[in-house]
Chains A and B, each alone.
Chain A
Amino acid sequence: MTTLSLALRNLARNRRRSLATLLAMVIGSVSILMFGGYVQNIVDGMQTDYVRGGGHLQLQHRDYFLYGSGDPTAYGITGYEQVIVLLRADPVLAPMLTVVTPTLEFGGIAGNFAAGVSKTIFARGVIVSEQNSMQRWNDYGFPGDGGTLALTGTGEDAAVIGTGVARVLRLCAPLQVADCPQPTAAPIATGAALPTDVAGLVAAEPQVSDPKGADAAAQIELLAATTSGAPNVARLKVVEAESLGMKEADDAFVGLHLGAAQRLLYGSGTREVNAIALQLRHTNQIPLARARLDELLRTSLKGFPLAVYDFQVLNPYYDQALSFFGAIFSFIAVLIGGIVLFTVGNTMNAAVVERTVEIGTLRAMGQRRLGIRRLFLGEALLLGVFGAVAGVIAALLLAALINHSGLTWTPPGRVHPIHLHVRVWGEWRLVLGTALGLLAVAALSAWWPAGRAARLQVVEALRHA
């Protein structure tokens, strides 16, 4: 007869109360696990989006991150092809890499001069096939991959614009943008004539090829400053207007082929990019890959003024979201922990009162105070173990039910609804943390009643009726 088996029998003795306490613990642990699993899914989803879009790490000119938005061409990476070849061939990095791809980002003005409208934009030039490979990264097993870019299979002069850009440039009809009412203030149909130099550039641009046979009206002129500061214009055929989930991005985004972006910014000169994105097989390889990149920057890439940034630095919203969810999770966990604490504490207090004579009898027989304390702590710990195990099983079952229910939701920063997924299976740190937390709360809640039982005077306890 060990303390634990005696504790177990005492729990079984008042089944209804023990089950009610267990139920409170199960509900508590299920709530924590479900919320934790839900949050984890959001965080993993955000990470997946960022990694699919910009890789885990980026090599940039060391000043580009802070100053590049004002003058991106001033902080380009000269000889980036050589850097990419070296990275892909590096024996340490190569096994970790899935994609290494250059990108060129810049600001400019997109205009639909036929409609007399223009808009300041943020453009991103990419190698479409490599970006499509990046979209397949799925370290967290989300259903489906990221799909392919709308630029896939298009000519060099194709572009994708945000729906907000499409609205402003009066391209809703050809691009079939929904929710695009006519503005009350009509655009100036006959504005001032284009400056002669810009008009000349536009005239010099070849007419957009139309491989897909789409409406020729979906064209924009993209104006940007070249490396010398002179304006340059590219006429691009817009193949799709896409919503990016945030109005600021929708109102400014233009995506195009890297070659077209480089031709616009560098003309016939030396072409550069302002970032080399590296996508790794797994996120946990970041420290190793980063260390290797730092080493390469000190050795093979010594002549390149580059710096390494990870996706968390490049996307500060990710860390902010982590902190935000972390704070909410902690708040909920503390709240639930408090409820469980008082529930178990109440149960143990009632048990001490009910079993006062037994406590006196045990003490009279020679049980030490510590033995009494152990007995009640053992009961609470057993409740904790059963509650944690049942809670984890219930959470896994409930999560599986939800994950197979076909429910959808639209997370922040997304446009299309996704499957509601609660990530409990596989999140063993969360599961273990919750189970251990529950055990700790159970032990803590029994500490005072157990101490009270142990401190009872034998005579007083035996006299208790």
Chain B
Amino acid sequence: MDPLIIENIAKTYHLDRVAVPALRDVNLRIRPHCFTVLSGASGSGKTTLLNLIGCLDRPDGGVITVAGQRVAELSDDALADFRLRHIGFVFQSFNLLPVLTAYENVEYPLLLARSPAPQRRTRVQELLDAVGLSDHARHWPGQLSGGQRQRVAIARALATAPELVLADEPTANLDSQTGASIIALMRGMQRDSRATFVFSSHDPQVLAEADDAVVLQDGRILRVERRAGVPS
């Protein structure tokens, strides 16, 4: 089953009295366990599409099915629960909670999911190990470098073992070397967790790693490049 099916999606923003179409008649299937990149120029609709996929926003028309669930049918609370269980987010500006340590940031989604304390501890430790930050577990976000913060954000996105991980320009605020290491880390974790990763990015390093690339232009899908078979 495809983790994400998008059918005839449209989204228009309204700036004062001016309607600005962000997406027009978008149809897309994201293959499972793949590393898919949404690319395109600024204003092409990458972030809008990612927000709709992540159930952070609702389309004006069309149907989005995530992990077999038509998300338009869900109430706001149900949608929040759905995001918690099925979708992880990595943001361009990391968006760690500054009052929580690295450990607590990773732990937070598990607390929301009411995961039992022993399992929570094991899972957080495991994720911090995976992103190479076990030694920084008690550090505050302000005490971490940009790359380290993004590693914590990746660990947090994977905490509840979601089927889908969405990342909006995850390397935009990092230097190229750190960005490359983050991409490599995410690629590795995607393979390990067998989650489906969807990025919005115009970073060539990210594009180079992609299994599939979806190119957008003026709110429409220009082309979809399937570069690899579905990983087994």
Q: Are B95's CB and A367's CB within 8 A?
A: no
Q: Are A6's CB and B99's CB within 8 A?
A: yes
Chain A 347-379 interface 0/1 with B at a Cβ cutoff of 8 Å (1 = within): 000000000011011111111111100000000
Q: Which residue of the partner chain A has the closest CB to B76?
A: A369
B51 at the A interface (CB under 8 A): yes
Residue in A10, A357, A366, A369 whose beta carbon sits within 8 Å of that of B95 in the complex: A357
CB distance from B104 to the nearest CB of A (A): 6
Q: Are A364's CB and B89's CB within 8 A?
A: yes
Q: Are B109's CB and A361's CB within 8 A?
A: no
At the interface, is chain B mostly helix, strand, loop or mixed?
A: helix
CB distance from B79 to the nearest CB of A (A): 9
CB distance from A184 to the nearest CB of B (A): 81
Q: Are B99's CB and A361's CB within 8 A?
A: no
At the interface, is chain A mostly helix, strand, loop or mixed?
A: helix
Q: Are A462's CB and B91's CB within 8 A?
A: yes
CB distance from A374 to the nearest CB of B (A): 12
CB distance from A270 to the nearest CB of B (A): 86
* Contact A1:B84 (CB < 8 A) given known A361-B95, A365-B89: no
Cα separation A362 to B91 with both chains bound (whole Å): 12
A366: B residues at CB distance < 8 A:
80-85, 109, 112-113, 160
Give 28 CB contacts A-B under 8 Å.
A1-B100, A9-B100, A13-B98, A357-B95, A361-B89, A361-B95, A362-B97, A363-B56, A364-B54, A365-B83, A365-B108, A365-B109, A365-B156, A366-B80, A366-B82, A366-B83, A366-B85, A366-B109, A366-B112, A366-B160, A367-B80, A368-B81, A369-B76, A370-B77, A458-B57, A459-B51, A459-B56, A459-B57
A369: B residues at CB distance < 8 A:
76-77, 80
B98: A residues at CB distance < 8 A:
13, 358
Q: Are A368's CB and B80's CB within 8 A?
A: yes
B82: A residues at CB distance < 8 A:
366
Besides A9-B100, A369-B77, 17 other A-B contacts (C-beta < 8 A): A1-B108, A1-B111, A13-B98, A357-B93, A360-B95, A364-B89, A365-B108, A366-B80, A366-B83, A366-B113, A368-B76, A368-B80, A369-B76, A458-B57, A459-B51, A462-B56, A462-B95
A360: B residues at CB distance < 8 A:
95
Which residues of B line the A interface, CB within 8 A? 51, 54, 56-57, 76-77, 80-85, 89, 91, 93, 95, 97-100, 104, 107-109, 111-113, 156, 160
B77: A residues at CB distance < 8 A:
368-370
A12: B residues at CB distance < 8 A:
99
- A-B contacts at CB below 8 angstroms, number: 67
Cα separation A369 to B81 with both chains bound (whole Å): 11
Cα separation A371 to B111 with both chains bound (whole Å): 12
Q: Are B76's CB and A364's CB within 8 A?
A: no
B84: A residues at CB distance < 8 A:
365-366
B54: A residues at CB distance < 8 A:
364
B160: A residues at CB distance < 8 A:
366
* Contact A361:B76 (CB < 8 A) given known A366-B83, A366-B113, A458-B56: no
Q: Which residue of the partner chain A has the closest CB to B52?
A: A459
Cα separation A462 to B56 with both chains bound (whole Å): 10
A371: B residues at CB distance < 8 A:
112
